[in-house]
Amino acid sequence: MTFDKVRTNVYLDKSLKEEAKQFFKQYGLSLSDGLNFLLKKTLEKKELDFDMQIEPILPGDTDYEIAKNAYENYKKHPENYVTFDEINWD
């Protein structure tokens, strides 16, 4: 499954962008994936007030090695993976 993507330029506060990148990275998301997630959730709820129920994976967590290995495999073979946008949420 592929999605028609478009490059969009937005003006962000520099420190906010860096903070957001680090925040989304905790969840295995790029800044682009994180912003797409936020936009989708906002449009689904039709409101700006929503609760993200995602917890970061930390080195002491039991799933940390699984997530780390998945990320390493993704870096080696990104063509074998779907993006966050390609997941069917229905």
* Helix locations, the chain, DSSP H: 14-25, 31-45, 64-76
Which residue's entry shows tokens 């002491």? Answer: 60
Provide mean pLDDT across the span 63-78.
80
Q: How far apart are CA 87 and CA 90, in angstroms?
A: 9
Q: How far apart are CA 37 and CA 14, in angstroms?
A: 20
Single-letter code of the amino acid located at 9: N
pTM of this structure: 0.52
pLDDT at residue 3, as a whole number: 64
Q: What is the pLDDT of residues 8-36, one digit of tens each?
A: 888 989 999 999 999 988 888 889 988 98
Confidence class of residue 85 from pLDDT cuts 50, 70 and 90? low
What percent of the chain stands above pLDDT 90? 11
Compute the C-alpha angle 67/69/73, nearest 5°.
115
pLDDT at residue 54, as a whole number: 64
Q: Where are the domains of the chain?
A: 15-80
Q: How far apart are CA 50 and CA 46, in angstroms?
A: 10
